[in-house]
Amino acid sequence: MATKPLARATAQTPPAFACGNLLIGGALRGAERGATFDVVDPSSGAAFARVPDASESDLDDAVAAAGAAFPAWAAAPWAARCDAFAEAAALLEARRDEFADALTREQGKPLRAAQHEIDACVAGFRGAYRRDEPLLRPRATHESATHRYEVHDVPRGVVAAITPWNFPMLMLKNKLLEACVSGNTIVLKPSPHTPLTTTMFAAIAGDAFPPGVVNVLPGSDALGAALAAHRDVATVSFTGSVATGKAIAAAAAPALKRVVLELGGNDPALVLPDADLEAAAPAIFRAAMLNSGQVCVAVKRAYVHASRHDELVDRLAALAAKARVGDGLARGVQYGPLNNAAQRDRVRALVDDAVAAGGAVAAGGDAYAGEDGFFYAPTIVAGVADGARLVDEEQFGPALPVVSYDDVDDAVGRCNASDFGLSASVWTSDVDRGYEVANRLEAGTVAVNQHMAGHDTLPFGGFKHSGLGREGGREIGLREYTEYRSCVVPR
């Protein structure tokens, strides 16, 4: 294990980014009174850019602009909406490298991962919905000799979309697509930790969409709460922590706003006694450490039969020891820093608690204490049990507890004994057995011999405290942003 994270190949100070913009009613502008706030590079802990700090007056303007644009956009043909997204895809693709560089600087992820995130946005904007395949056409449910009975999908109005700091552009793409293809208008509010790429996207949205359809509003967490509670917002879509999701649901409740909440996960990987660990260990490690563990569906805890515990720990520890950690813009880096100091400190505290409870660090730990930036080494903790915070809570970082069990039925119960239910996986040489066990796990997505599995045709979301509603799944995701209207027509 390196004692110091890999640094950029050059010692030159990176160029400062220009201040981004609000987008309100099709116009790029600064915040009221010119207020701005810093964007911090998590690899250095230093500010490298500034973006507008929107006020509640700016918020009122953005919501009013979205409301004014809604009737015409809701009435626009499906093909016209798809064409606007195709234009956004072309504009984003032309600036792909610029966006990827900014994404690495503000979020911390390796440049290759940032490039993949931008590419996924381009692909989604361009191809998730086809202009010649409208998915929200009126559907006849019954026809009699005298009447036709139909169901229509009706857009609701203004959507407030609040995105997280782990995948700021990917989550922007998901929410923007489903909200606006279905005929709503939107106000996008990025995390204050990663606002830069969203404010850069404001210029693209201003060119690709009619004025007011897409509005961009960076600012503090308090601004997000005010947006969620705004009287003229019809739907709130939020991805982030359970605590914030509950606060948003409470803010939306008095007006009976609809909410789509994609919250946390404490996702188990259940390793059966017959699992092929040579194949399973690298796959579990990748699924635990992707984006330095800052993924809602990452493996957060591994349950392995006692007879295979030490072997799995040894294999995972060897992978952790070889991991290349450093500045996301440095050559050869596999894992960047945590996005912010608070998250780094939380991971540190959870690992310390696990060790105090009898666990042992098999690899990693706080190897980079005292270094600049918010680094924490990929960490494997063995001999830890249910009840330790590292097992029971979502760490959202590169620290994986390995927990042993003796009976598969008991292990299933322990996997399910959580307030979370986002994703889970089963690892075995017997796929039929794995399928049976996987479907006993309380999670929105389950998989056999893989983790973070999914497809555009599958809806994404969770059970219990992992959220409300679903994203993706084509029509399913779109209908989270519409109302059903029943229509009875004489023949």
The closest of 336, 331, 371, 364 to 350, measured between CA atoms, is 364
Residue 3 has pLDDT above 80, yes or no: no
Residue 205 has pLDDT above 60, yes or no: yes
Residue 145 has pLDDT above 60, yes or no: yes
Pick the catalytic residue: 117, 262, 471, 480? 262
Residue 163 tokens, joined: 């995105």
Residue 16 has pLDDT above 70, yes or no: no
| DSSP 3-state of 31 | coil
CA distances 253 to 10, 90, 221, 247, Å, are: 52, 39, 19, 10
pLDDT at 367: 84
Is 93 catalytic? The answer is: no
Site of tokens 């299933």:
412
State mean pLDDT over 132-149. 95
Residue 428 tokens, joined: 């075995």
State mean pLDDT over 378-391. 97
| 3-state per-residue secondary structure call for 328-345 | CCCCCCCECCCCCHHHHH
C-alpha dihedral (326, 269, 384, 240), degrees to nearest 10: 60
For the whole model, what pTM was predicted? 0.95
Residue 19 has pLDDT above 80, yes or no: no
pLDDT at 169: 98
**CB-based contacts of 446, cutoff 8 Å, min separation 6:** 423, 424, 425, 426, 438, 439
State mean pLDDT over 438-451. 98
Q: Are 267 and 229 in contact (CB under 8 A)?
A: no
Find the helix or strand (DSSP H, E) in which 42 lies. Answer: none
State mean pLDDT over 63-90. 98
Judging by beta carbons within 10 Å of its beta carbon (0-12, 13-18, 19+), is residue 341 exposed, middle or buried? Answer: middle
How far apart are the two ends of the chain, measured CA to CA in Å?
75
